[in-house]
Structure 1
């Protein structure tokens, strides 16, 4: 098996002696367990992965070895053992029925055993990866918090501790799981999203990722120029990520002050996204929702203000939601019934009717206090029930 891995997965055997020794122990214990399953008729779906196999999985997680290599190692070994066993069986067993029964039992039992063990070792790998990342980043997280909160810090010392250059343009992101992910690999999936997003940006180095807790990470991208990722690219990345993942972005900014400012902006948008709950979009930027994000620091006051501006139009039901949506588009298109109708894909007369009903609900023309009305409508669109009047 070790010789097989030397050909197919050479980095697993061309490694530290203690790790290779653990690999050998894992192989021996797995093969021993598999043979005992056949010898004693043990149900393979009820066996526990050997201790050495679990420890080897944890060691690979600590070293950053991709989990796919761990899985591939199991299936390479399974294929090799089955090939050997079936070749020997064909030599030794002359009865076709007995040979067929033996092959069926070997295939079924081996696949059940490998499936059972790989589930356990992958779970151990993911748990250890999360724990290791948290521990490894503990010092960096402390230095980042010092940097965000304090002044007069030695730049060279901080850069060395973080492994990240502070002299340049930074784009801050907060990425998190809205609920506990089903796969249990919270930080790992956040890293995947961060890496994918960074590949589409004009970066000057690796992003700085610091876990804020077990389900949330603070990220900074070092940029060549001040840009934001394209909406389509962000959507594509999130479409392949865990459905629980959300992200928010600040504006790009320069130097240490920019490092802090971009993160503060991302933090405000994060608060908005959290307040909005499930109905909120999975990705938001400070550039798009900054004014609304600033209002989430005092949600009760925001709710009261929305009620003062919109009155009954802020009622939380489908009828008033349609009126709010139409009125917001009408205002956003410069008060043009024709443009609003085109954007909403509805008849111009329908837009006129809804705008008139919205004005009746407001008790005044929308041209009165227009800026406040439009902002209040945007707040309702983003925060929904958090600021609406319960029916």
Structure 2
């Protein structure tokens, strides 16, 4: 076979040049993606070189030598770098093989028609060579694409860090991420129980066309989402996060990318303000402000917990749990002992007796608004503190508390008799 190739090499070279022109025109006409990403001269040179590489591979294979595939790998890497579709690359190899076989037949026929039978066994060898070249180019393409994807993820992660940490050119980072200079943004911080949860490559739940755009960043200290809300309400993040079934903190809405670093801190604060025993869901900071105020300063929260609730926390574990749960439920029920009793599945007088005992231990009167504020904040501190586990569970489910005034018969806010 190599003797035939040598005999027709000059004529074959001319025919390959014509084949390269034909395949270039066909590719540019029938493949808009390729036409948009590469010029004719560059594409024609690449195809011409590939056809010659296939001929050399045919000669080497007929001699029992391995096919040289470095050229095919270089073509695959270059195509990936230009963003050409892999299908376009594979199609070019397939069409090129047909034109090359046709050129071989024509060149052998013009040189010596009687030699055609000697060419036929080369058909299988040629297709095997082309298969090897196609797979080598495809593998190099995929490796280059994976590397490019990794670099793109690293670049995006660095841009998100600049926004969420406030470190670096914030305006430039926002522009490169496609965020407007002014808009409606929020930050979401997922709880640690989200480990391994999202299946997306960049982590986090997938946003649909009718949801806010979310950009996710996974770091050692947790997973954070930047939400470009657009016209969507902040509440829409609850629906978007619901499938994850994890606890999450959500910041208030901010108007510029420069405010995102502060929003991230507030989202983390909203998450810390949630009780560890709280059900999965999104905690909006503006709905957790008292608890967030306590969570913002752990040292002061510990002092508040000790000064206000110290005598209660010194009780046996079960006694302390009952009193703190009763207090939390009474606060959640807007100071109604009737509703608190319904939620706690006990008699109204039992609730009143527990609250009177709590008043005696703390020296705080539930009829005094200032004392109620202290007790509410101290209760939040106890729920967030290291001793919270097993002592201050979330209030048990019960009937919803209606908005507005407390119903008749339950208007008294303190178990103490008026005096």
Q: TM-score under structure 1 normalisation?
A: 0.53
**SS of structure 1 residue aligned to 2:186:** strand
Distance 1:384 1:234 in 2: 31
Q: How does 1:144-183 map to 2 (within 5 A)?
A: 144-148=160-164, 153=169, 155=171, 157-178=172-193, 180-181=195-196
Q: Residues 192 and 344 of structure 1: is their aligned pair in 2 closer, same or farther, counting only changes over 3 Å?
A: farther
The CA deviation string for residues 299-351 of structure 1, in whole angstroms up to 9 with x for no partner, is: 23311221101122235823212211212232343432223223434321221
Q: How does 1:1-391 map to 2 (within 5 A)?
A: 15=87, 17=89, 135-148=151-164, 153=169, 155=171, 157-178=172-193, 180-181=195-196, 188=199, 193-195=204-206, 198-199=207-208, 202-203=211-212, 206-213=213-220, 216-229=223-236, 233=239, 236-239=242-245, 245-272=246-273, 279-283=277-281, 284-315=283-314, 317-368=317-368, 369-383=371-385, 385=387
Q: Residues 357 and 144 of structure 1: is their aligned pair in 2 closer, same or farther, counting only changes over 3 Å?
A: same
Distance 1:214 1:297 in 2: 18
Q: CA deviation at 1:173?
A: 0.6
Quote the residue 2:40 is aligned against: none
Distance 1:304 1:263 in 2: 26
Q: Conserved in 2, the CA contact under 8 Å of 1:309 and 1:376?
A: yes
Q: Conserved in 2, the CA contact under 8 Å of 1:178 and 1:246?
A: yes
Q: CA deviation at 1:353?
A: 1.9
Distance 2:234 2:375 in 1: 31
**SS of structure 2 residue aligned to 1:207:** strand
Distance 2:90 2:313 in 1: 66
Distance 2:361 2:201 in 1: 45
Q: Conserved in 1, the CA contact under 8 Å of 2:183 and 2:230?
A: yes
Q: CA deviation at 1:202?
A: 4.9
Q: Residues 150 and 356 of structure 1: is their aligned pair in 2 closer, same or farther, counting only changes over 3 Å?
A: closer
**SS of structure 1 residue aligned to 2:387:** helix
Q: TM-score under structure 2 normalisation?
A: 0.50
Quote the residue 1:124 is aligned against: none
**SS of structure 2 residue aligned to 1:254:** coil
Supply the RMSD in Å over aligned alpha carbons: 4.3
Q: CA deviation at 1:148?
A: 4.6
Q: Conserved in 2, the CA contact under 8 Å of 1:166 and 1:255?
A: yes
Larger-gyration structure (1/2): 2
Q: Residues 364 and 172 of structure 1: is their aligned pair in 2 closer, same or farther, counting only changes over 3 Å?
A: closer
Quote the residue 1:110 is aligned against: none
The CA deviation string for residues 60-114 of structure 1, in whole angstroms up to 9 with x for no partner, is: 9x77xxxxxxxxxxxxxxxxxxxxxxxxxxxxxxxxxxxxxxxxxxxxxxxxxxx
How many residue pairs match? The answer is: 260
Q: Residues 15 and 160 of structure 1: is their aligned pair in 2 closer, same or farther, counting only changes over 3 Å?
A: farther
Q: Which runs of 5+ in 1 are unaligned?
A: 1-12, 22-51, 64-127, 240-244
Q: CA deviation at 1:361?
A: 2.5
Q: Residues 384 and 357 of structure 1: is their aligned pair in 2 closer, same or farther, counting only changes over 3 Å?
A: farther
Distance 2:169 2:272 in 1: 28
Q: Name the stretch that deviates more: 141-150 or 370-379.
A: 141-150
Distance 2:90 2:191 in 1: 36
**SS of structure 1 residue aligned to 2:249:** strand
Distance 2:164 2:308 in 1: 37
Q: Residues 353 and 247 of structure 1: is their aligned pair in 2 closer, same or farther, counting only changes over 3 Å?
A: same
